[in-house]
Structure 1
Amino acid sequence: MVRKLGSSYTLESRVGRGGMGEVWRGHDEAGNELAFKLLLPHFTSDPGVVARFMRERAILIRVQSPFVVAIHDLVAERGELAIVMEFVEGSDLRHELVRRRTLPPGEAVGLIVDILTGLATAHRLGIVHRDLKPENVLLDRRDGTSRPKVSDFGVAGLMASATRLTIPGGMLGTPLYMAPESVDGGVVGPAADIYAAGTMLYEMLCGVAPFAGREMLSILRAHADLVPGRPPGVPDEVWAVVAAMLAKNPADRPGTDRLRALLPALTGLPAAPAMVGPPASSRSAPHSSVTVA
Structure 2
Amino acid sequence: MDTQVADTLLGSLIDGRYRIRGRVARGGMATVYTATDERLERTVAVKIIHPAQASEARARVAGFVERFTDEAKTIARLTHPNVVAVYDQGTHAGLPYLVMEYVRGRTLREVLAERRRLNPDEALAIFEQMLAAIAAAHRSGVVHRDVKPENVLVAEAPTGGMANLVDSVVKVADFGLARAVEASAEEESGNQLMATVAYVAPELVTKGHADPRTDVYSAGIVLFEMLTGRVPYDGGRPIDIAWQHVDRDVPAPSTLVPGLPPVLDTLVARATRRDPGARPVDAGALLAEVQVARDDLGNANSHTAVLRRVADDTAVAQPTMVVAAVRPAERPSWARLPEGGQRAGRRRAAPEQSTGLWSQFQELRARVMGDPRGRVAVLASVVVLALVAAVGGWYFSVGRYTVAPELVSLSKADAEARAERAGLTLVYGEPRYDEKVPKDSVLLQDPASSSRIVKGGTVTLTLSLGPEQFPLPDVVGKEFELAEADLVNAKLTVVKGAARYDDNLPAGVVVDTNPKVGTEVKPGAKVTVILSKGKAPASVPNLVGKSLTDARNALSQLGLVAVETYKDSDKPKDEVLGQSPADGTGVEKGTQVKLDVSKGPPLVVVPRVVDLPCQQAQQLLQSQGFPVQVQFNPAAVVRFQSPGENSQVPPGTQITIGCF
- Residue pair 1:3, 1:11 contacting (<8 A) in 2 also: yes
Distance change in 2, residues 1:206/1:180 (3 Å): same
Which residue of structure 2 aligns with residue 207 of structure 1? Answer: 229
Q: Unaligned regions of 5+ residues in structure 1, if any? A: 273-286, 288-293
- Residue pair 2:87, 2:99 contacting (<8 A) in 1 also: yes
Equivalent-residue separation in structure 1 for 2:75 and 2:251 (angstroms): 37
Equivalent-residue separation in structure 1 for 2:263 and 2:157 (angstroms): 32
Residue identity opposite 1:105 in structure 2: P
Residue identity opposite 1:241 in structure 2: L
Which residue of structure 1 aligns with residue 270 of structure 2? Answer: 244
Equivalent-residue separation in structure 1 for 2:306 and 2:249 (angstroms): 26
User: How far does residue 180 in structure 1 lie from its aligned partner after superposition?
Assistant: 0.8
Equivalent-residue separation in structure 2 for 1:152 and 1:11 (angstroms): 20
Residue identity opposite 2:263 in structure 1: E
Residue identity opposite 1:12 in structure 2: R
User: Is it true that 1:253 corresponds to 2:268 in the alignment?
Assistant: no
- Residue pair 2:191, 2:207 contacting (<8 A) in 1 also: no
Identical amino acids, percent of aligned pairs: 34
Q: Unaligned regions of 5+ residues in structure 2, if any? A: 1-9, 161-166, 281-285, 308-317, 320-443, 445-660
Q: Work out which of the residue numbers 68, 78, 91 in structure 2 matches 1:53.
A: 68
User: How far does residue 162 in structure 1 lie from its aligned partner after superposition?
Assistant: 4.3
User: What pairs with 1:72-221 in structure 2 (closer than 5 Å)?
Assistant: 72-141=87-156, 143=158, 144=160, 145-163=167-185, 170-185=192-207, 187-221=209-243
Equivalent-residue separation in structure 2 for 1:150 and 1:65 (angstroms): 10
User: How far does residue 187 in structure 1 lie from its aligned partner after superposition?
Assistant: 2.9
Equivalent-residue separation in structure 2 for 1:50 and 1:43 (angstroms): 12
TM-score for both structures, normalised by structure 1: 0.86
- Residue pair 1:43, 1:50 contacting (<8 A) in 2 also: no
Equivalent-residue separation in structure 1 for 2:236 and 2:135 (angstroms): 31
- Residue pair 2:193, 2:208 contacting (<8 A) in 1 also: no
Equivalent-residue separation in structure 1 for 2:230 and 2:189 (angstroms): 22
Deviation >6 Å, runs of 4+: 166-169
Which residue of structure 2 aligns with residue 278 of structure 1? Answer: none
Farther off after superposition, 48-57 or 238-247: 48-57
Task: Indicate the structure with greater helix content.
Answer: 1
User: How far does residue 223 in structure 1 lie from its aligned partner after superposition?
Assistant: 0.7
User: How far does residue 168 in structure 1 lie from its aligned partner after superposition?
Assistant: 11
Equivalent-residue separation in structure 2 for 1:151 and 1:269 (angstroms): 32
Which residue of structure 2 aligns with residue 279 of structure 1? Answer: none
Residue identity opposite 1:197 in structure 2: A
Equivalent-residue separation in structure 2 for 1:182 and 1:259 (angstroms): 25
Which residue of structure 2 aligns with residue 27 of structure 1? Answer: 36
User: How far does residue 48 in structure 1 lie from its aligned partner after superposition?
Assistant: 2.9
- Residue pair 2:71, 2:180 contacting (<8 A) in 1 also: no
Distance change in 2, residues 1:112/1:142 (3 Å): closer
Equivalent-residue separation in structure 2 for 1:142 and 1:198 (angstroms): 24
Q: Which has the larger radius of gyration?
A: 2
User: How far does residue 269 in structure 1 lie from its aligned partner after superposition?
Assistant: 5.0
User: How far does residue 76 in structure 1 lie from its aligned partner after superposition?
Assistant: 2.2
Which residue of structure 2 aligns with residue 5 of structure 1? Answer: 14
How big is each residue's C-alpha offset from its partner over 1:43-102, in whole Å with a ceiling of 9 and x where there is no partner? 443133212111223211011111111111111244121111000001100011111111
Distance change in 2, residues 1:269/1:222 (3 Å): farther
Equivalent-residue separation in structure 2 for 1:36 and 1:229 (angstroms): 39
Equivalent-residue separation in structure 2 for 1:242 and 1:203 (angstroms): 10
Q: Give me the CA root mean square deviation.
A: 2.5
Equivalent-residue separation in structure 1 for 2:95 and 2:141 (angstroms): 27
